[in-house]
Structure 1
Amino acid sequence: MGRKPTISRDGLLTIAEEIVNADGPQTLTIDALAKAAGISKGGVQYAFASKDDLIRALVDRWTTQFDALIPDVQTVGPIGFVRAYIAAMRSSQAVIGAKMAGLMIAYMQNPKNRLSTVQWYSAILEKMGDTQEARTAKAAFLAVEGLFALRIWGVESNLDWQSQLDDIEAIFLDHTFGKDQQSPQPDR
């Protein structure tokens, strides 16, 4: 009968997030995680075979949490989806800024991870369709993603994230509903 694990894979991910938040993504190593969790390096490697596996698991965890905040495009339509997407970006800005930047760069170095990301974006863009409404929604979606990419590369320190999202949303809603029409209030 084997020894009962003292910490779960999910518990290790929580500790890994704490390391990233406290000291930055460059300090996340298998050794650092083992030390912070109070277990052996082998214990960490039992849960995550490599640092790449650990990073992938963190990104998968954050993606799952983020995806839970947004509805399916086909359920709410492209306009509803982009409005919900902007709201989700607003509410998750701390996660995006503190955790994602350095780890996303490391994550994207693996071709398998890039393919998974391309598939995620391709599925969303395909589900939006090709109507005029969908093209407007796609433009706003891509603007938000451009802002996200700037955050990954560290440019956000020169930008006010909330103001930029406000501007994208205002342009999107003005274009969608017209400046003279009453647009529905975004969910916040």
Structure 2
Amino acid sequence: MGRKPTITRDRLLGVAEALVREQGGSALTIGALAKAAGISKGGVQYSFSSRDELVGSLVDRWTSRFDAMLDETPTNDPLGFVRSYIEAMRTAQKAMDAKIAGLMVSYLENPENLKETRDWYRGIFNRMTGASSNAQAARVAFLAVEGLFLLRINGIDEDGDWTSFLDDVDAVLTRLT
């Protein structure tokens, strides 16, 4: 009978996430992950054949967590959806700092990953379709939140203003509807 693995793929992703959080996306290499996890490079490559696969798996993990926060909103309620999106952003941002977000941006340099991300956004916009004023307000609020996300990647949250900006978007959305 073979040896039982000392570290799982999920545990490696947890170590990788901590490595990125502490040192930034450029520090994430197969060798650095092996060292941080206390295993050989071959042990890492058993789970992730390349850095690209490792980064893609991290992004998939984060996206799955985020999507799970949105799945409970009815698909025919654009305002409810965008409010859930704002709350999911609030929750996700507590766990994700700019270093991790920066790694996600570098992930988009691969055309296949960019297509997958575009498809994800198309799915999001499909949940806010229609010409009603509520659907329009939901789309504008969504775009504002996404703009805040991009600004946060560039360091806007140095003073902890992130959640107050989300509060502003939510307050304007309430006034519009």
Give the alignment's TM-score, normalised by structure 2.
0.91
Deviations 1:110-144 (A, max 9, x none): 11111111001111112321132111100100110
Distance 1:113 1:152 in 2: 19
Contact 1:26 1:102 in 2 (8 A): no
* Bigger mean CA offset, 105-114 vs 125-134: 125-134
Distance 1:114 1:158 in 2: 31
**Given the alignment of the two structures, is residue 77 of structure 1 paired with residue 77 of structure 2, yes or no?**
yes
Q: Once the two structures are aligned, what percentage of the paired residues are identical?
A: 55
Q: Which amino acid aligns with 2:19?
A: I
In structure 1, the partner of 2:125 is 125
In structure 2, the partner of 1:66 is 66
Unaligned runs of 5+ in 1: 177-188
Contact 2:20 2:100 in 1 (8 A): no
Contact 1:71 1:81 in 2 (8 A): no
Supply the RMSD in Å over aligned alpha carbons: 1.8
Q: Which amino acid aligns with 1:149?
A: L
In structure 1, the partner of 2:169 is 168
Distance 1:21 1:97 in 2: 7
Match runs of 1:31-70 below 5 Å: 31-70=31-70
Instruction: State the 1:157 CA deviation.
Output: 2.9
Give the alignment's TM-score, normalised by structure 1.
0.86
Distance 1:51 1:102 in 2: 15
Instruction: State the 1:99 CA deviation.
Output: 4.8
Distance 1:99 1:66 in 2: 17
Unaligned runs of 5+ in 2: none
Contact 1:20 1:98 in 2 (8 A): no
Q: Which amino acid aligns with 2:119?
A: Q
Deviations 1:143-172 (A, max 9, x none): 101111112233443671011101111111
